[in-house]
Amino acid sequence: MRRILLIVQKEFIQIWRDKTMKPLLIAMPIIQLAILSYTADFTVKNINLFVQDQDHSALSQKLIDKIGASDNFNLQAVSPVYNDGFNQIQKNNIDVILSIPEHFSRDFNSGRKTALFIAADAINSTKAGISMNYLQNIIKNFGEEQAVEKGFSGLNPGIIVSKRNWYNPNLNYKFFMVPGIMTLLVTMIALFLSGMNIVREKEIGTIEQLNVTPIKKYQFIIGKLLPFLIIGLFEFTIGLAVALLWFRVPFLGSIGLIYLFTAVYLVLILGIGMFISTITDTQQQALFLSWFFSVIFILMSGLFTPIESMPVWAQKITLFNPIRYYVEVIRLVMLKGSAFSSIKLNFLIISVAAVVVNLLAMLNYRKTA
């Protein structure tokens, strides 16, 4: 016990004296949360729109005004020539073209069917899809409004769908992203700190001196793990504070539960880092391996893309991804107020994995070559 505390104390002194590390540990969670939460936004804004108006009627002008008034679209130009717009797409100035046909107003007012045409720059397929969707919605609304105004009862749909978004009524993407980014933060810090640590002692040569002492493997690993566990929880606290106080993310669940899960999760991630540390000889190798794992873990975590929309084989791989379980839990507990009973499977999986990985790291750490 005394030896474990000794190593913990040593690690803290070393981190405290590290001129780069100390400010980084405080600044990193704040910067990451602040920047990523604003940028990782899936709503599409500032879509540059070109309208080919071949009708030049009051009705077409009304439609153009309505689209122009939306937050999502910037009306760049209106012209009767389609190719004016297409040339601008090629120059990357225009994202979407809306083409209003001749006799649009005449056909509509006489109750006949009329067709509009939308073309989008689909290099970014997500953005194109979302843009077209927005535009269709606006046009559909417009059509309904005009039909009501003109008394065309036939156009009114018989079924009225009303919507309610549970747990995030205004579909505030930040409520969804901020907890996700917190998990990313905790994971990165824990993985990199522990991944680089033992290997650093190898590189500097201090491990050579340590290995001839009677320190036991478990004392060494636990002594290394504890300081990072404390730092990880500290980082999580900063992240949580930013999420609650700045982004006003609702917190419905239990604080204790979320800290308990985070602690167990940290032990797992630190164990992975320790394991990386034991199989590498230089900090460079450890860095590459840590990056390799964190990129896969992050992209396959359900943080940015829903796991349900991944191919089945990829979904199976995500079962081995610790971030997946953590993201799930943190969103459930924070936004939905879930209790332990609804996250106990995740808790069990992460706990077992934490024990296994740390045992592996301990067995793999050799004092003798």
Partner 1 sequence: MIAIQNISKSYGDVKALNSISFRVEKGQLFGLIGPDGSGKTSLFRILTSLLKPTSGKATVAGFNTVTDYKDIRKIVGYMPERFSLYMDLTVEENLKFFATVFNTTIRENYHLIEEIYQMLEPFKNRRAGDLSGGMKQKLALSCALIHKPEILLLDEPTTGVDPVSRKDFWDILKKLQKSGITTLVSTPFMDDAELCDEVALVQKGEILKMDTPQNLANGFPHKLWKIVSENNYRTLKVLDEFETKISAFSFGNSVHLATGDDVDEQAIVNHLKQHNVKLISIAIIKAHIEDVFMDLMSHEKGSS
162 is an interface residue for partner 1 by CB under 8 A: no
Asked if residue 307 lies in contact with residue 331, where contact means CB atoms within 8 angstroms, the answer is: no
282 scored as a contact of partner 1 (CB under 8 A): no
Q: Of these, 151, 169, 214, 306, which contacts partner 1 (CB under 8 A)?
A: 214
The owner of tokens 């640590």 is 197
Tell me the C-alpha distance between 2 and 146, whole Å. Answer: 80
Question: Can you read off the two tokens belonging to residue 10?
Answer: 């040593």
- Of 34-42, 133-141, 169-177, 210-218, the segment contacting partner 1 by CB under 8 A is 210-218
- 209 in contact with partner 1 (CB under 8 A): yes
Which range, of 121-129, 208-216, 263-271, 345-353, touches partner 1 by CB under 8 A? Answer: 208-216
Residue choice 90, 153, 341, 368 for contact with partner 1 (CB under 8 A): 368
Mark the segment that binds partner 1 (CB under 8 A) among 175-183, 201-209, 246-254, 315-323: 201-209
Both tokens of residue 138? 């606006």
Q: CB 276 → partner 1: shortest distance, Å?
A: 22
Told to check if 336 binds partner 1 by CB under 8 A, we report no
List helix spans (H) across the chain. Answer: 2-17, 21-39, 58-68, 82-90, 104-109, 125-150, 173-204, 206-211, 217-241, 255-279, 283-299, 312-318, 322-331, 340-364
Beta strand 96-100 with 73-79: parallel, antiparallel or unpaired?
unpaired
CA–CA gap between residue 62 and residue 123 (Å, rounded): 30
Nearer to partner 1, 165 or 368 (CB): 368
Say which DSSP state 153 is in.
G
* Residue whose CB is less far from partner 1, 13 or 31: 13
Does position 17 interact with partner 1 (CB under 8 A)? The reply is: yes
Cα–Cα dist 121/129, whole Å: 10
| Tokens read off for 86 | 């297409």
Q: Which helix (DSSP H) or strand (DSSP E) does residue 321 occupy?
A: none
Q: By CB under 8 A, name the one of 161, 212, 245, 312 that touches partner 1.
A: 212
- Asked if residue 281 binds partner 1 (CB under 8 A), the reply is no
The phi, psi pair for 166, rounded to 5°, reads -75, 150
Q: Which residue has the tokens 């500097």?
A: 204
Q: Site for partner 1 (CB under 8 A): which residue of 126, 206, 237, 282? A: 206
Q: Which stretch in 108-116, 140-148, 202-210, 292-300 sits in contact with partner 1 by CB under 8 A?
A: 202-210
Q: C-beta of 18: minimal distance to partner 1 in Å?
A: 7
Other CB atoms closer than 10 Å to residue 155's CB: what's the count? 12
Stretch that binds partner 1, among 118-126, 186-194, 205-213, 326-334 (CB under 8 A): 205-213
Total residues at interface with partner 1 (CB under 8 A) = 23
Binding site for partner 1 (CB under 8 A): 2-3, 6, 10, 13-14, 17-18, 204-215, 367-369
